[in-house]
Each structure stands twice: as C-alpha cells, then as structure tokens.
C-alpha cells in the first residue's frame, strides 16, 4: 500500500458478525512502518511522539482515525501485515517502495523493474494530470503541502529521466501514462 488513507485501505476489511475482518484472508499487506505508527498514534493506540518528523512541516490536516481502527488494525491483528521502511531499497526482486512523503506522513510510490523497463505506481503524489504541468497544485487531502510539492517535483524528474510507465490512482480515463520533459516543462501522455 502506498499510504493509509481511506480510499487506499478501505477495501482491506469487511464488516462481518460485528467485527472488521480481512477481506482477503490469504493476502499479505505491505506498508510503511512509519505510516502505521503515526496512524496508530492518531487513533489513540500507542503514542509516537517522534512523528511527524519536523522535516515535513506542520500538517494541515490529519487522516480520519476510524480508518486505522477499521481498515488497518484488523490486518495487523490477523498477522497479515508486513511493515517496511520506505527507503527505496528492493523489498522483493524488482520491487521498491520509493519515499514520496507529503500527501501522507510516509507516502510511498511503488517502483517495479523488469526486463529493462520500469513502472511507477504513484499512489496520491498526483491526483490530476494538470499537476504534471503545475506541481504546486495539490489535493485538499495532502497533509504536508510543501513536502507533497517536493515529492511531485522529484517524481516528475525521475519518471521522465527513466521513461517509466506511470499509474496514478485518481486520473480520469486511463490512469496510465508517461511523463516527459520539454521546453515548456513536464508533459503527460496517456498510454
């Protein structure tokens, strides 16, 4: 998972017989240890006084606490969660979680490399193709505005330089495309 906002984790669980249970009982859920600690702290489970890190700035909003309790904690309690450090290292052969914080405290973009090609799952680094041209634009759901802008700028350069096929969660139509850089700045082309 790229981050722990409702629209990215709400399908993790289902309500059954008065309890939230994993939707996919045989799945493994991979996500950020920092995201987990921060969201658990916000829901009152275990304090994380070191979060958010000062480098992100002051959050302008926080994720809803019920999301953690309903869609993340049951996954952890079932033993299906694998918490990782979002540091760009390969988690599995060809699969890395790249740090793109800002939309959330430890947002990750997921990189897959195979056969000399690269794909990026952007999560919520961008919500609209217009952000390719204007990275200063942000979603109202970005928790740390300056960090989210910096992550967009980094990702635009990275995707363009590596000719990575990009998958965005929220672009209308096809969410797959390429980012290129020209004299007028970055451009988006749907795949």
pLDDT digits (tens, 9 = 90+) for 106-158: 999 999 999 999 999 999 999 999 999 999 999 999 999 999 999 999 999 99
User: pTM for this one?
Assistant: 0.95
Percentage helix, strand, coil for the chain under 3-state DSSP, each rounded to 5: 30, 25, 45
Helices (H), the chain: 6-9, 33-42, 65-67, 73-77, 130-133, 145-161
Strands 165-167 and 176-182: antiparallel
Q: 14 is written with which tokens? A: 């289902």
Closest CA to 33 of 77, 86, 76: 86
Q: Which CATH class is domain 90-190?
A: alpha beta
- The pLDDT, as a whole number, for residue 25 is 94
CA–CA separation, 158 and 142 (whole Å): 21
Question: What average pLDDT does range 4-33 have in this prediction?
Answer: 96
Domain ranges of the chain: 6-84, 90-190
CA–CA separation, 190 and 129 (whole Å): 9
Does 164 score more than 90 pLDDT?
Answer: yes
- The pLDDT, as a whole number, for residue 173 is 78
């Amino acid at each position: 998972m790229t981050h722990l906002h409702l629209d990215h984790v709400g399908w993790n669980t289902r309500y059954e017989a008065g309890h939230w249970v994993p939707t996919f009982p045989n799945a493994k859920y991979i996500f950020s240890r920092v995201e987990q600690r921060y969201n658990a702290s916000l829901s009152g489970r275990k304090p994380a006084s070191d979060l958010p890190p000062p480098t992100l700035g002051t959050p302008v909003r926080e994720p809803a606490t019920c999301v953690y309790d309903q869609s993340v904690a049951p996954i952890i309690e079932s033993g299906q969660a694998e918490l990782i450090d979002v540091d760009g290292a390969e988690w599995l052969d060809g699969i890395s979680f790249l740090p793109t914080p800002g939309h959330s405290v430890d947002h990750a973009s997921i990189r897959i490399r195979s056969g000399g090609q690269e794909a990026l799952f952007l999560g919520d680094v961008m919500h609209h193709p217009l952000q390719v041209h204007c990275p200063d634009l942000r979603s109202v759901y970005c928790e740390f505005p300056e960090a989210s802008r910096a992550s967009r700028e980094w990702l635009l350069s990275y995707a363009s330089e590596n000719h990575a096929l990009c998958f965005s969660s929220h672009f209308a139509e096809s969410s797959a495309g390429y980012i290129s850089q020209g004299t007028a700045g970055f451009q988006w082309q749907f795949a």
